[in-house]
């Protein structure tokens, strides 16, 4: 069974009751009959037909308008004004007919003229209301288009209107004013209708379109009325007679058009070309006609105004086109969300740079490209929602620009990835700028009233040193960024011997071989008890002396180990070598503990706890001799899983230390729920702590030490490089110190020698 769905009235449809529609149909039929009557009578007049019948027709049309005012509050003001205008004209016809029945020669002005003339201002008001109602989204230049169209058409009609009445204006001022009022009123009405149609091109309602047609018919009728005064013709008399009733019928019907629903998306409306172009052409025709025969001053003035406004519109269009072109160019190079550049802007920058670089006599130039990727941005979206993530991204541009020079360029590559182009710089300067940006990003972002802290990883590549084309430069910076992210170093410089695909594959196999053959080594950095001054532990630091490349820093090969799945075998190797050395120290009477760094993949590996037990058992070490260091960013990746593993390590008697504390997402609030034994303050807070301008850092370090002690934790400070920082930390109650000032990382032999000297001194 088919069910007919109710339909809404379409934009521009009629919304009149059936009986109103029936009345309008009858009036239209009567209008056709009246037209036939005019043709049959061939200019003959009848007071009953041309007077009372037409007047009754007009009053009925006015009554239908006023009926609309009663039934529709939404269009009440419009319907009242139009109804009043039609009623004034209809009553004017009634008065004129009555006057003509009394006297064949009715003088001007008659009692009907005030009623007729009331029609114009009322209709003007309606037209202006409709223009204001629908013209709110119209561009300023469109109003000039409307003026061109209105002036042009008015100039054409003025040529005929005023040319026909020059010899019949009347002798008295009243006659002159009355005879001029009608053509002037018609010109204003026609100008408003045509100009408004140009302004509202593409957005006109059915009400406006019907009114505009009615005004045009009225203008045609009045033109023939004036022409008939000097040179009557059958066609002119017929058109003059039928024009006003037709116009009034259309005006009456216009108020019943359904108001158009507002669009969901407000689009700026622009005018069409036809009406303004026609208006300008008509202005030219009138001026040209004026050179061949006499044309009234009103027509010439309107034609001149048409061309003046058209010239202003043309100048405005040129200016608008220039501004629009510039704005579109800017928008095409700008990321909408963040306000920084987009990939298209980056392409322009690279194209200009590399094309100039290819010139034989080009001045040597350098360019650094920084590939920046936000760390843990997904956590922000998951915790606060994507709108919060967008709000954070919008704050990135100002943060990054604060660390850059005016000529440097920031672009958004997509998602949470950004690119920074630094002109005429070197690797060292680019690295410093990258570090400044990371410091700026490390400050809390205010998102929905909450302070959110994020970090980032940056890869740096140089042109032309690393690449001679844009895609290659992007790739170089991308792989360097990936290495920085895996190693958690913040910044990584592209190195072909490490990052090129062929070299990486070769290096990967060499690393795998080095792990299997145990050809890696350990350095140890001592940790000093600030109360006793004795060495209580040493951190094991992995080193790889490559036979071909020399010493490969851990920041380079550890990300490679993560990619290859070698972190567990590598950690087992480090624990084995570190615990072996620890057992040797214990056997020599140096009861020094050893700390080993553990990655996220280690901690969440099911084999990890068994591997720790096996290493301790192999060298018969007590669990208290072992400290496992875990970065705080490792913990946040899977807090609950890490928490369980830490609890199991604690139950085994193994101390767990949170490394680089204060550099990531965790806070002191987390420590109460973690079974850790110590925290290691990040070196960024400690290095140069005693220097001027570090008051805020000193307060932060003091508060962290106090809070750690309140939770029963040992606090270790690493990165101490001067005596002033050491004394300051001791005065704050810090427990353990580590850094170049106490001792640089060194092979076990040197640390053993230092321990022996300290032991001999103590004895």
At the topology level of CATH, where does 522-762 sit?
TIM Barrel (3.20.20)
Q: What is the structure's pLDDT at 218?
A: 79
DSSP classification of residue 674: S
CA 102 to chain centre: 75
Residue 389 vs residues 194, 323, 339: alpha-carbon distances, Å: 51, 33, 15
DSSP classification of residue 138: B
Mean pLDDT by 10 residues, the chain (763 residues): 36 74 91 86 75 89 90 87 90 87 78 87 84 63 60 67 54 69 74 71 75 82 67 72 88 82 49 62 71 71 73 70 68 82 89 80 80 84 79 87 88 90 92 90 80 86 90 90 80 80 73 91 94 92 86 81 87 95 93 92 89 94 93 73 90 91 58 85 83 84 90 92 92 94 92 79 57
> CB under 8 Å to 590, separation ≥6 — which residues?
752, 755, 756, 759
Q: What is the structure's pLDDT at 503?
A: 66
Helices and strands in the chain: count of H runs, count of E runs: 28, 17
**Cross-strand pairs, 661:** 681
Read off the tokens for 483.
């290495």
Whether 755 contacts 534, CB under 8 Å: no
Which residue is it, tokens 């792989």?
Answer: 479
Tally of CB atoms within 10 A around 134: 19
DSSP classification of residue 313: H
Helix (H, G, I), strand (E, B), or coil: what is residue 598? strand
Domain boundaries defined on the chain:
343-494, 522-762
DSSP classification of residue 260: P
**Cross-strand pairs, 630:** 598, 658
- The reply to whether the predicted model has a pTM over 0.75 is no
Residues 721 and 702: their CA atoms lie apart, in Å, by 18
Q: What is the structure's pLDDT at 228?
A: 63
Tally of CB atoms within 10 A around 264: 5
Residues 529 and 448: their CA atoms lie apart, in Å, by 44
**CATH homologous superfamily for the domain 343-494:** Reverse transcriptase/Diguanylate cyclase domain (3.30.70.270)
Whether 477 contacts 494, CB under 8 Å: yes
> CB under 8 Å to 501, separation ≥6 — which residues?
none
Tally of CB atoms within 10 A around 101: 11
Note the maximum CA span of the chain: 145
Helix (H) / strand (E) containing 163? helix 140-165
Residues 565 and 625: their CA atoms lie apart, in Å, by 28
């Amino acid at each position: 069974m088919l069910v007919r769905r109710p339909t809404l009235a379409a934009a521009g449809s009629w919304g009149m009751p059936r009986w109103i529609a029936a009345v309008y149909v009858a009036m239209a039929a009567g209008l056709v009959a009246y037209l036939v009557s005019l043709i049959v009578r061939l200019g003959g007049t009848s007071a009953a037909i041309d007077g009372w019948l037409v007047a009754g027709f007009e009053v009925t049309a006015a009554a239908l308008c006023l009926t609309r005012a009663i039934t529709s509050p939404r269009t009440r003001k419009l319907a009242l004004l139009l109804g009043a205008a039609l009623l004034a004209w209809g009553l004017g016809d009634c008065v004129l007919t009555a006057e003509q029945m009394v006297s064949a020669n009715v003088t001007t002005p008659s009692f009907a003229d005030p009623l007729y003339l009331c029609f114009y201002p009322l209709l003007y008001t309606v037209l202006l209301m409709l223009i204001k109602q629908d013209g709110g989204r119209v561009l300023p230049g469109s109003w000039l288009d409307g003026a061109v169209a209105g002036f042009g058409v008015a100039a054409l009609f003025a040529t005929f209107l005023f040319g026909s009445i020059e010899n019949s204006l009347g002798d008295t001022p009243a006659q002159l004013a009355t005879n001029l009022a009608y053509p002037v009123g018609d010109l204003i009405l026609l100008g408003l209708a045509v100009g408004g149609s140009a302004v509202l091109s593409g957005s006109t309602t059915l009400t406006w379109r019907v009114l505009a047609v009615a005004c045009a018919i009225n203008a045609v009728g009045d033109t023939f009325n004036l022409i008939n005064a000097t040179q009557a013709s059958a066609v002119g008399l017929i058109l003059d007679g039928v024009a006003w009733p037709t116009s009034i019928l259309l005006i009456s019907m216009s108020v019943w058009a359904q108001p158009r629903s507002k669009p969901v998306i407000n689009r700026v409306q622009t005018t069409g070309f036809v009406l303004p172009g026609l208006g300008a052409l008509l202005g030219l025709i009138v001026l040209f006609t004026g050179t061949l025969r006499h044309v009234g001053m009103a027509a010439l003035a309107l034609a001149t105004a048409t061309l003046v406004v058209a010239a202003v519109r043309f100048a405005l269009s040129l200016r608008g086109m220039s501004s629009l072109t510039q704005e579109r160019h800017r928008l095409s190079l700008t990321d909408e969300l963040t306000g920084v550049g987009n990939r298209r802007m980056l392409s322009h920058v690279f194209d200009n740079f590399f094309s100039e670089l290819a010139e034989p006599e080009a001045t040597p130039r350098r360019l650094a490209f920084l590939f920046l990727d936000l760390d843990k941005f997904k956590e922000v979206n998951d915790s606060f929602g994507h709108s919060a993530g967008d709000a954070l991204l919008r704050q990135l541009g100002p943060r990054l620009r604060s660390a850059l020079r005016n000529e440097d360029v920031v672009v958004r590559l997509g998602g949470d990835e950004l690119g920074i182009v630094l002109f005429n710089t070197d690797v060292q300067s680019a690295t410093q700028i990258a570090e400044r940006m990371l410091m700026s990003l490390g400050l809390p972002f205010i998102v929905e009233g909450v302070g959110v802290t994020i970090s980032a990883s940056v890869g740096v590549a140089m042109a032309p040193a690393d690449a001679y084309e844009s895609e290659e430069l992007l790739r170089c910076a991308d792989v360097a960024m990936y290495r920085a992210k895996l190693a958690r170093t913040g910044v990584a410089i592209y190195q072909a011997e490490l990052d090129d695909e062929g070299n990486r594959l070769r290096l990967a196999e060499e690393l795998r071989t080095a792990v299997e053959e145990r050809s890696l080594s350990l350095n140890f950095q001592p940790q000093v008890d600030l109360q006793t001054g004795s060495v209580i532990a040493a951190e094991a630091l992995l080193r790889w002396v490559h036979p071909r490349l020399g010493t490969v820093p851990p920041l380079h090969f550890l990300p490679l180990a993560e990619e290859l799945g070698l972190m567990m075998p590598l950690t087992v190797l480090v624990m084995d070598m570190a615990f072996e050395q620890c057992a040797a120290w214990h056997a020599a009477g140096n009861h020094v503990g050893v700390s080993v760094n553990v990655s996220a993949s280690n901690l969440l590996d099911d084999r990890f706890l068994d591997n720790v037990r096996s290493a301790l058992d192999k060298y018969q070490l007590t669990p208290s001799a072992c400290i496992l260091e875990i970065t705080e960013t490792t913990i946040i990746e899977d807090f609950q899983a890490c928490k369980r593993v830490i609890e199991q390590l604690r139950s085994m008697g193994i101390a767990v230390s949170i490394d680089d504390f204060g550099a990531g997402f965790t806070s002191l609030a987390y420590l109460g729920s973690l079974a850790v034994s110590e925290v290691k303050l990040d070196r960024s807070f400690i290095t140069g702590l005693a220097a001027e301008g570090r008051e805020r850092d000193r307060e932060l370090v003091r508060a962290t030490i106090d809070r750690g002690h309140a939770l029963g934790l040992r606090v270790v400070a690493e990165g101490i490089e001067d005596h002033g920082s050491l004394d300051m930390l001791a005065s704050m109650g810090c427990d353990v110190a580590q850094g170049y000032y106490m001792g640089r990382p060194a092979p076990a032999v040197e640390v053993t020698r230092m321990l022996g000297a300290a032991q001999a001194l103590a004895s």
